[in-house]
Amino acid sequence: MPFDTERERQDPAQQQALKNLVGRVMDRQQRQVIGQVQRERRLRHEGLNHALEREVTRWGDRLQAVVLHQSLPAAGRREITLLERCRGLDPEALAEEIPAFRLQLKGHSPMEGVLRGLAEKLPKLSHAALEQAHAELVAQWEQSLEQRYLAEQLALLDEQRAELLADLYRRLDGTEDLSALIPVSHPSEVGRLWDMADVPLSRRQMKGLTQLADFLGKQPEIKRLADQIGKMAKASNRGPLKRVKEKAIVSEQRFSTLPEEVAGVQQGKDLGRLLAVATSLLSSEELELLFFKQLIDSQLLIYEMKGKTPEKGHLKPVFRHRHADVEDNGGPFILCIDTSASMAGQPERCAKALALSLMREAVKADRDCRVMIFSTAVKSFDLLGSHGLSQARDFLGYRFHGGTDIGQCIEHACEALNLVPFANADVVVVSDFIAPRLKGEALSSLEAAQQRGNRFHAVALSREGNPALLDQMNHLWPLETSIWGRVKAQKR
């Protein structure tokens, strides 16, 4: 059986017919997946239904692209095109077209015999019966084509569907865990939690996070502080948004020749990157010749690999959208938390509770939230990214110890401000501020960011903080963590 040539693969009518057929197959697969999940899990929030449909649609689009790259016999492509012609026919015109269909199908398709039998019955059918016969013919023909030409693709879909279901159930569990920490109401907020839910939590991990949420519920001062920091940008929004040109350190990336990560699917002949569906051709003697033909023509489906190597940042003019005369409105949060030994105990619990409260504010306002913990080194956590739940788990489970190097953390935060997603971020530094004032590179970076309009908030967890260091920040938010201070706050 001859396989399709490059000319036939590029035939617009055949390509569109194949795309329509595969699209209907994928729609059916997606409906089955969504129906199965909704039957097995009770989705209590409408936002979960939206997130589920979005995730399944993305899966369908990715697999449809893979299936459309598969080679089909030339006769199969032509028959799929005939099916699309038949589907678009008026039932009254079916009798006139059946002889032409039979002529093209004779000798290589079992549908020729079906059409011959139908042609004998058509003159005796009423209009309603004719419409029903037309619909049944199209459904039977499509099923026949799937069995004869798309069997391998359907097997791949079944395999991928099992993996998808496992991922969907994992995300549902993770979203349920997150909703206990970050209460949400709007569908878009539920979708944000869905994107963050990369792992389910163990009972022990969930217990620790629930205890932190309970602690936050008993700390109105922390919730009020997070609310004030979150609203500050909106309160300062007085001017029009303008496209302003300014100088900034910009870190660019270039593709390296060393492959590091999967970027997609492409055609080629690198046997080390073959997709499983390509190697399946070797399991059949009839398809083995096709495998070697695709190998010679560099048409095997392989993973597309790319690598990225960061170039050194350099000073150059860039354009940013910002308020030219006032602060930016509603950017991300960069939360810098001191994890030195002096922060252990109540300050640690307050710092983590503030982080959780700012996460809630960021989800509501559709802002990002990155945490940088620092002692003698700096470690970052993207709490609202695609691995948000595992990042939050790791951060909230971190134990505070070590020394204090606030200058190093400020430098890392200022480097993040040069990235487009964090260009107009608020930097919130949580510490006891028992440290020297900023000097040298850290001070230069801080002042440059402040001149660009970025705000630096100091959340002081001790009355012993260095006044000179606190004065270098834009805003001071004292948060009493001593026993005497908490008693006075409760009396107020």
Q: Tens digits of per-residue pLDDT, 327-382?
A: 444 678 899 998 888 788 888 889 889 988 888 888 888 888 888 888 777 888 88
CB 10 within 8 A of CB 149: no
Contact 21, 81 (CB under 8 A): no
- The secondary structure of 266-326 as a DSSP string is EEE--GGGB-HHHHGGGGSHHHHHHHHHHHHTT-EEEEEEEEEEEPPPEEEEEEEEEESSS
E strand or H helix at 415: helix 406-417
377 and 468 share one domain: yes
Q: Are residues 225 and 261 in the same domain?
A: no
299 domain residue, yes or no: yes
Asked if residue 257 and residue 231 are part of one domain, the reply reads: no
Separation between Cα atoms, residue 231 and residue 253, nearest integer Å: 34
Position 198 in a domain = no
**Block mean pLDDT (10 aa), the chain, length 492:** 49 85 89 90 80 89 82 86 90 87 89 90 87 92 89 83 88 82 79 79 81 88 86 50 39 44 73 77 74 75 62 41 43 86 85 88 84 83 80 79 82 89 87 89 92 90 88 88 52 48
Same-domain check for residues 367 and 271: no
Looking at the fold, whether 212 and 336 belong to one and the same domain comes out as: yes
Q: Is residue 83 part of a domain?
A: yes
- In a 3-state reduction of DSSP, which class is residue 405? coil
**Do 296 and 362 fall into the same domain?**
no
Alpha-carbon distance of 294 to 323, in angstroms, equals 56
Residue 190 in any domain: the answer is no
* Domain membership flag for residue 168: no
- Could you tell me if 394 and 269 lie in one domain? no
Residues 361 and 437 placed together within one structural domain of the fold: yes
Residue 334: domain span: 204-238+327-491
Same-domain pairing of 288 and 339: no
232 in the same domain as 266: no
Q: Is residue 246 part of a domain?
A: no
pTM of the prediction? 0.61
Residue type, 189: E
Same domain, 111 and 53: yes
Same domain? For 66 and 89 the reply is yes
Structural domain includes residue 182: no
Domain boundary pick from 152, 182, 212: 152
187 within some domain: no
What tens digit of pLDDT does each residue of 375-397 get?
777 888 887 777 778 888 888 77
445 within 8 A of 409, measured Cβ to Cβ? no
Strands 455-460 and 426-431: parallel
Total number of domains in the chain:
3
